[in-house]
């Protein structure tokens, strides 16, 4: 594609020759002739003078650019759109509905769905049009799956869960396993029946080996457009809003409500029965022990406003010197006291 054609599609403005031919995208430090790259993080600015790319995507804040470029509102988004232009079509080898899949006679599967061998589809399941189901997927009774979904190998969807349209579930994802509910009684634990389900709304993507527990009663909900990374645990009766992102190895404990457009970094732990408001950001490894209803960036354990936690971190780094100084002062005071006694 030419630089002009790319700019038109990503809504940008070309500075320099418009007829440069671009063969594909690349990272700024690795790009070569014919490739296009981007600059969104100032840490990579020094590569501007080194890159061999034929063109670069930037936003309006970047100046003195030594090569042809496309100016867009958001360089990262512009590059993502460019990646999509050059993305090769994924080869889906599954065609039709395999006679080696087990499909209960009471299930309703759209003729346009593609079902691989070794898939189990239980009683009264419904699978809508153009959904792709890979080998090893297990779908138990009364599950509803929307259209244009992709269920990769070894996904399990437990009974009565509901999956919206255009949902992607990656390998090993488990939807609707029992919530961790046990009542202590006379020195032992009694299992609490987990009678609810999980509702996953449209355009959700859930990473490999992530788990969403079914509700005790009612529904655990993953809102429209929300994205979960690999190895994320969502407990029973959790409700996560729309367009929220959760990074790997994070966990949300039971009956917590997470708002819209929330960002949760890696290895964040959120305790149960708290409320997280819209537009809240938790940095990696934050420990969330209470509700955070107002927008803001939080870090640390317990999670505190970012600037406050940074000051604490700086103080902690000084702690060994402070302890040494206190010990010196104690010694000086002890010496002074002994001198006065003499």
**Per-residue pLDDT reduced to its tens digit, 266-313:** 999 999 999 999 999 999 999 999 999 999 999 999 999 999 999 998
Instruction: State residue 173's pLDDT score.
Output: 98
- Residues annotated as catalytic (active site), given as ranges: 236
Instruction: State residue 103's pLDDT score.
Output: 98
Low-confidence ranges of the chain (pLDDT < 70): 342
Give the 3-state DSSP-derived string for 51-74, with helices as H, strands as E and coil as C: CCCCEEEECCCCCCCCCCEEECCC
CA 93, 166, 201: angle at the middle one, nearest 5? 145
Q: Which residues touch 85 (CB under 8 Å, ≥6 apart)?
A: 1, 6, 9
Neighbours of 49 (CB within 10 A): 9
Q: Which run of H or E residues covers position 141?
A: none
- Residue 97: DSSP 8-state: B
Instruction: State residue 342's pLDDT score.
Output: 66
The answer to whether 109 touches 133, Cβ cutoff 8 Å, is no
The answer to whether 49 touches 65, Cβ cutoff 8 Å, is no
Instruction: State residue 230's pLDDT score.
Output: 98
Instruction: State residue 336's pLDDT score.
Output: 86
Instruction: State residue 93's pLDDT score.
Output: 86
Instruction: State residue 245's pLDDT score.
Output: 98
Alpha-carbon distances of 202 from 166, 178, 311, rounded to whole Å:
6, 23, 41
Distance, CA of 285 to CA of 267 (rounded, Å): 5
The answer to whether 71 touches 60, Cβ cutoff 8 Å, is yes
Looking at the whole model, is its pTM more than 0.85? yes
- Residue 89: DSSP 8-state: P
């Amino acid at each position: 594609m030419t630089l002009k054609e790319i700019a038109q599609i990503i809504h940008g403005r070309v500075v320099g020759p418009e007829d440069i031919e671009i063969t594909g995208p690349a990272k700024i430090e690795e790009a070569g002739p014919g490739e296009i790259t981007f600059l969104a993080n100032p840490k990579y600015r020094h590569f501007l003078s080194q890159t061999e790319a034929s063109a670069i995507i930037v936003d309006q804040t970047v100046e003195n650019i030594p090569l042809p470029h496309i100016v867009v509102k958001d360089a990262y988004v512009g590059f993502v759109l460019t990646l999509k232009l050059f993305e090769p079509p994924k080869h889906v080898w599954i065609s039709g509905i395999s006679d080696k899949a087990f499909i209960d006679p009471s299930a309703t599967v759209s003729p346009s769905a593609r079902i691989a061998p070794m898939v189990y589809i239980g009683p009264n399941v419904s699978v809508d049009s153009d959904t792709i189901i890979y080998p090893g997927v297990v779908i138990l009774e009364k599950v509803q799956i929307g259209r244009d979904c992709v269920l990769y190998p070894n996904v399990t969807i437990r009974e009565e869960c509901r999956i919206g349209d255009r949902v992607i579930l990656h390998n090993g994802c488990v939807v609707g396993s029992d919530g961790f509910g046990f009542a202590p009684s006379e020195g032992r634990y009694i299992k609490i029946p987990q009678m609810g389900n999980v509702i996953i709304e449209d355009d959700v993507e859930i990473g490999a080996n992530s788990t969403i527990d079914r509700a005790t009663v009612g529904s655990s909900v993953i809102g429209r457009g929300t994205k979960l990374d690999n190895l994320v645990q969502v407990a029973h009766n959790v409700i996560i809003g729309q367009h929220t992102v959760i990074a790997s190895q994070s966990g949300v404990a039971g009956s917590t409500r997470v708002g819209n457009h929330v960002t949760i970094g890696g290895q964040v732990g959120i305790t149960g029965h708290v409320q997280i408001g819209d537009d809240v950001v938790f940095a990696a490894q934050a420990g969330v022990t209470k509700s955070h209803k107002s927008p803001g960036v939080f870090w640390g354990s317990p999670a505190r406003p970012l600037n406050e936690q940074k000051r604490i971190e700086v103080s902690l780094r000084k702690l060994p010197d402070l302890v040494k100084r206190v010990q010196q002062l104690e010694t000086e005071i002890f010496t002074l006291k002994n001198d006065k006694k003499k």
